Structure 1
Amino acid sequence: MIRYIRWCAYFCALLLLALLVNIARVQVWESAAYGANPANKRSAIERYAEPRGDILVDGRPVTGSRDSGQLLRYERTYADGPLYAPVTGFSSQTYGTSFVERAEDAVLSGTDPGLSAFPLWYDLSRGRPAGGNAATTVRAAVQRAAYAGLGGKRGAVAALEPATGKILALVSSPSYDPAVLSGTGAKPRGAWAALNADPARPMLNRALRETYPPGSTFKIVTAAAALDAGVVTDVDAPTRTPDPYPLPGTSTLLPNAATGCEDASMAEAVQWSCNTVMAKIGVQVGLRRMTEAARRFGFNTEGLRVPSWVSRSNFDTDMSLDQLALSSIGQFNTTATPLQMAMVAAAVANGGELASPYLVERTTQDDGSPVRRGDRRSLGRAMNPATALRMQELMVKVVEQGTGRNAAIPGAVVGGKTGTAQHGVGNAGTPYAWFISWARTEGAALPAVAVAVVVEDASADRGDISGNGAAAPIARAVMKAALAAR
């Protein structure tokens, strides 16, 4: 009898051991697979069981959380959703997250280890700290000025602090309200379908993700390359450029929209936006040096994050001379995001040094204790300091006496460059209107803001599409707001 009891005990111990092994298998080796299984709602329930941390602008939340009373309890809410959508992105229980909501998701959702001095305790207790906050570099007044300036037209605005790279405004128009995507059920699904079917593409972040031909605003890069390379040593010297200019190796003649460009100097070419002169100068600089100059400004650079990813701006590295001529005036295959062109203006304003743009100033715990800071980082020198000073003079002349007079601000020094970029088959599309600029208060040591504006509204009167007419007034409003906010 005792022997049978002993065998029974052995068998029970074996069953217990098998149970422990199976528990270990489920909890350790297969836990990730079970957690990722769409049928497992535990992680989603836990994720939305507590309010999400907030995204801050000027220290005030532009996001919130609402108790829905549903299984996924807390839904995301947005204050001035369309205004800040290019900054915040969306946080949806159905479609996930985007932009700052995605980039800082670990902090906002309370899963970042930096939110607690004892993260292991939360792992053991299966709890988590309250969601932290992400304070942005955006200034509310500057953002509102950019949004109001576009007035619903298709386009974008990016504004930077040149010395630090802080993004002061990031606007894409038309926009949308991220709150319509927050929950679950038929309404968010219907809103998602409608937004994605809208031909105006309101969910596209044009400031970060769309690339455009930059047109004449790219002439700032070409002029800086020419000065750095020593191709132009006297900006006021005649360039012996015919009008129109025969593109090298072809019978195609490049015309000017402006008058008085024949034999114009580089200073006059920037002031009046002479295509012929700047195309010829680009050819004289040569492909290798033009490519290197474009790269120093940020073109052809992969992996830029602010912290959301930014589309790559392009300057071709393998071209014929006629293609190089067109590329040097922002045409052919040259494309840029509005953020990239704001970086061009910022590099000129900052004495040639290009600061890496960033959007999150700091992340904090729920009580305000710091987690991480967004530190200033240099991307290198886009041009020599002497070249930057000369380019500042040329850009100021554009605003004071040239094509960019609509950007002038009393009591401030403003430099700018207009651009009207052709596009479409046979350039039949309505041109994009560009303006890039920077501004400082008279007597101030450093410029306070650099701005890029692009207007692509296809419903606009074609005759009104110009950098000075459509884009410069928006840039002026943004710069005035930035100067007043300092």
Structure 2
Amino acid sequence: MNKPLRRVSVFCLALILALMGWATWIQGAKASDYKEDSHNPRVAIGKYAAPLGNILVGGEPVTGSAATSSTLKYKRTYKDGPLYAPVTGFTSQIFGSNQLESLYGDLLDGSDSRLQSPADALTRTRAKGGDVSTTIDAAVQKAGYRALDGKKGAAVALDPATGRILGMVSTPSYDPGKFAGSSTDDQKAWQRMSGDGDHPEVNRALRQPLPPGSTFKLVVAAAALENGRYSSVDEHTDSPDPYTLPHTRTTLKNENTAAPCKNATIRTALRYSCNTVFAKMAVDLGKDKVKAQAEKFGFNDGKVDTPVRAAKSVYPDDMDEAQTALSGIGQFNDQATPLQMAMVTSAIANGGELKTPQLVDRLTDGGGNTVQQNEPAAYRDGRTMSGRTAAQLRSAMQTVVDQGTGSNAKIGGLTVGGKTGTAQHGVDNSGTPYAWFVSYAEDGNGHQVAVAVMVEDGHAARNEVSGNGLAAPVARAMMKAALG
């Protein structure tokens, strides 16, 4: 064979070997990647070839599957879709999935390896979909949803002893069943939701951090007691009224000018929500000590997973003393989700011990056998404050409800403590304030519940917006449902 032919032969052989190597790489090492690629139509065909497993509330499914006449043989259905959408999320043949539907998609569609029997693995058959049991209490969820009706806001109820999320409401909501299929109507329903200016698709309970207003005063009070600034909630503070912000000519006043805020005790300052007391207290402590206390509750943690990840709640770092004062009353650049403020109240109710919030109780296979059981777990090291500090704050919060600004949270036969908040926002505080209420309730048998409510827009006149007026009734409804 002459030299040119030899070169051509060698080149062709190299091409053949390269092609064989590439084919082996695609069919071997990359096979699973292509098999699971969302752009591969076989993925969707396999996912919807049989009924999906379900998401359960109180042991009962709030999801289902319905037969279709398309290539995707089944589509997802929802029972009380708007009520449970903040819990379940959605799964759509066209638009994908989110929240629990996404996080546990493999379990629900039967492709999770934990569901496969040896026979399934041998025949490459997809197992029957498993179920996701949530921690939600249907009565608590319904109570919060009904109480928030017509308002833009959110509410979270926690069991302080376990961290179980008993209720997680976000309004306005949406019906995920409206766009679960692939029809023209499904596409129109998605477009309507996506174009809604109130953003019903946003889970405000987990994903909408806003200024917490005066509810943040509980964090500052905890820091003051833990750092020995004051020995009890009944010791008088060093607090002028009005208070001039450090290094400025700006004076901070109290909403209720008749309130006895000058040198008030922490109990009195929480009862009347004295801005001057907690603004100066934050400056006296210094931003680092307030920050340390806030972070024990979960602020500045971008990995709070329920397992759905919550947006990060923020206690700002780079502040001067005047900004620290405003931050001490939940303004300046403070940001908190309703879940975060429920964690604060939960720790206070539970003697200072904070449990990691949990939305999922257990996972089961298609036969009801447990695949994974989630047990209560401490958040970080679990201890946010001493038991004595927690008891002091519970006592002061009870005064807020019994004699102060939180009267709408009273429930006969239960011990209730709370804190109101009205957070300003917008240029020169021109926006309608956000109304907050955080609370806990306990019965005589040791059962507790902690609740945080945020009303972003209650359709009330600006001068009528208050935590007690708009948010406390929602918290009351949820606490009563949990313990009543």
Q: TM-score, normalised by structure 2?
A: 0.93
After TM superposition, give the deviation of residue 315 of structure 1 in Å: 0.2
Range with greater deviation from structure 2 (325-334 or 21-30): 21-30
* Contact 1:435 1:454 survives alignment (8 Å): yes
For residues 409-456 of structure 1, the C-alpha deviation after alignment (integer angstroms, 9 at most, x for no partner) is: 110000100001111111011111100000011x223x4210000111
Q: Which amino acid aligns with 1:183?
A: G
Q: Which amino acid aligns with 1:434?
A: W
Task: Write the distance in 2 (CA, Å) between the matches of 1:37 and 1:227.
Answer: 54
- DSSP-derived class of the 1:316 partner: coil
Q: 1:297-308 alignment to 2 at 5 Å?
A: 297-308=297-308
Residue in structure 2 matching 1:212, options 210, 213, 233:
210
* Unmatched segments (≥5 aa) in structure 1: 1-15
Match of 1:422 in 2: 424
Q: 1:63-78 alignment to 2 at 5 Å?
A: 63-78=63-78
* Contact 2:232 2:392 survives alignment (8 Å): no
After TM superposition, give the deviation of residue 294 of structure 1 in Å: 0.5
Match of 2:146 in 1: 148
After TM superposition, give the deviation of residue 332 of structure 1 in Å: 0.3
Q: Which amino acid aligns with 1:444?
A: N
Match of 2:10 in 1: none
Match of 1:320 in 2: 320
Task: Write the distance in 2 (CA, Å) between the matches of 1:99 and 1:221.
Answer: 30
Task: Write the distance in 2 (CA, Å) between the matches of 1:340 and 1:33.
Answer: 37
Q: Which amino acid aligns with 1:361?
A: D
Match of 2:3 in 1: none
Task: Write the distance in 1 (CA, Å) between the matches of 2:17 and 2:423.
Answer: 73
Task: Write the distance in 2 (CA, Å) between the matches of 1:297 and 1:212.
Answer: 16
* Contact 2:132 2:364 survives alignment (8 Å): yes
1:52 and 2:52 correspond? yes
After TM superposition, give the deviation of residue 291 of structure 1 in Å: 0.8
After TM superposition, give the deviation of residue 30 of structure 1 in Å: 4.2
For residues 310-345 of structure 1, the C-alpha deviation after alignment (integer angstroms, 9 at most, x for no partner) is: 000000122111111111110000010000000011
Q: 1:84-483 alignment to 2 at 5 Å?
A: 84-118=84-118, 121-258=119-256, 259-379=259-379, 380-441=382-443, 443-445=444-446, 447-457=447-457, 459-483=459-483
* Unmatched segments (≥5 aa) in structure 2: 1-15
The alpha-carbon distance between structure 1 residues 152 and 19, as it changes in their structure 2 partners (threshold 3 A), is: same
* Contact 1:421 1:432 survives alignment (8 Å): yes
Q: Which amino acid aligns with 1:248?
A: P
Task: Write the distance in 2 (CA, Å) between the matches of 1:242 and 1:17.
Answer: 85
For residues 128-157 of structure 1, the C-alpha deviation after alignment (integer angstroms, 9 at most, x for no partner) is: 110000000000000000000001310000
Task: Write the distance in 2 (CA, Å) between the matches of 1:22 and 1:292.
Answer: 55
For residues 333-366 of structure 1, the C-alpha deviation after alignment (integer angstroms, 9 at most, x for no partner) is: 0010000000011000000011000101001012
Range with greater deviation from structure 2 (231-240 or 369-378): 231-240
Task: Write the distance in 1 (CA, Å) between the matches of 2:210 and 2:194.
Answer: 21
- DSSP-derived class of the 2:141 partner: helix
For residues 360-395 of structure 1, the C-alpha deviation after alignment (integer angstroms, 9 at most, x for no partner) is: 100101221100012111012111111001111011
CA RMSD of aligned residues (A): 1.9
The alpha-carbon distance between structure 1 residues 261 and 366, as it changes in their structure 2 partners (threshold 3 A), is: same
Q: Which amino acid aligns with 1:27?
A: Q
After TM superposition, give the deviation of residue 126 of structure 1 in Å: 2.3
Task: Write the distance in 2 (CA, Å) between the matches of 1:117 and 1:219.
Answer: 54
* Contact 1:87 1:99 survives alignment (8 Å): yes
Match of 2:8 in 1: none
Task: Write the distance in 2 (CA, Å) between the matches of 1:472 and 1:52.
Answer: 39
After TM superposition, give the deviation of residue 234 of structure 1 in Å: 3.5
* Contact 1:158 1:170 survives alignment (8 Å): yes
* Contact 2:165 2:357 survives alignment (8 Å): yes
* Contact 1:430 1:458 survives alignment (8 Å): no
Task: Write the distance in 1 (CA, Å) between the matches of 2:453 and 2:152.
Answer: 11
* Contact 2:245 2:252 survives alignment (8 Å): yes
Q: Which amino acid aligns with 1:209?
A: R
For residues 238-280 of structure 1, the C-alpha deviation after alignment (integer angstroms, 9 at most, x for no partner) is: 3232221101111110110122212212211011100000111
Q: TM-score, normalised by structure 1?
A: 0.92
After TM superposition, give the deviation of residue 17 of structure 1 in Å: 11
After TM superposition, give the deviation of residue 87 of structure 1 in Å: 0.1
For residues 199-251 of structure 1, the C-alpha deviation after alignment (integer angstroms, 9 at most, x for no partner) is: 11010100000001000000000000000000111422332322211011111
For residues 439-480 of structure 1, the C-alpha deviation after alignment (integer angstroms, 9 at most, x for no partner) is: 011x223x4210000111163222321011111111111000
After TM superposition, give the deviation of residue 39 of structure 1 in Å: 6.5
Percent same amino acid among aligned pairs? 50
Task: Write the distance in 1 (CA, Å) between the matches of 2:53 and 2:451.
Answer: 30
The alpha-carbon distance between structure 1 residues 397 and 187, as it changes in their structure 2 partners (threshold 3 A), is: same
Task: Write the distance in 2 (CA, Å) between the matches of 1:30 and 1:393.
Answer: 61
**When the two structures are aligned, how many residues end up with a matched partner?**
465
After TM superposition, give the deviation of residue 302 of structure 1 in Å: 1.5
After TM superposition, give the deviation of residue 194 of structure 1 in Å: 1.6
- DSSP-derived class of the 1:208 partner: helix
Task: Write the distance in 2 (CA, Å) between the matches of 1:371 and 1:188.
Answer: 34
Q: Which amino acid aligns with 1:416?
A: G
After TM superposition, give the deviation of residue 180 of structure 1 in Å: 1.3
- DSSP-derived class of the 1:207 partner: helix
- DSSP-derived class of the 1:191 partner: helix
Task: Write the distance in 2 (CA, Å) between the matches of 1:224 and 1:68.
Answer: 57
After TM superposition, give the deviation of residue 90 of structure 1 in Å: 0.2
After TM superposition, give the deviation of residue 20 of structure 1 in Å: 8.5
Task: Write the distance in 2 (CA, Å) between the matches of 1:152 and 1:105.
Answer: 32
* Contact 1:110 1:131 survives alignment (8 Å): yes
* Contact 2:233 2:396 survives alignment (8 Å): no
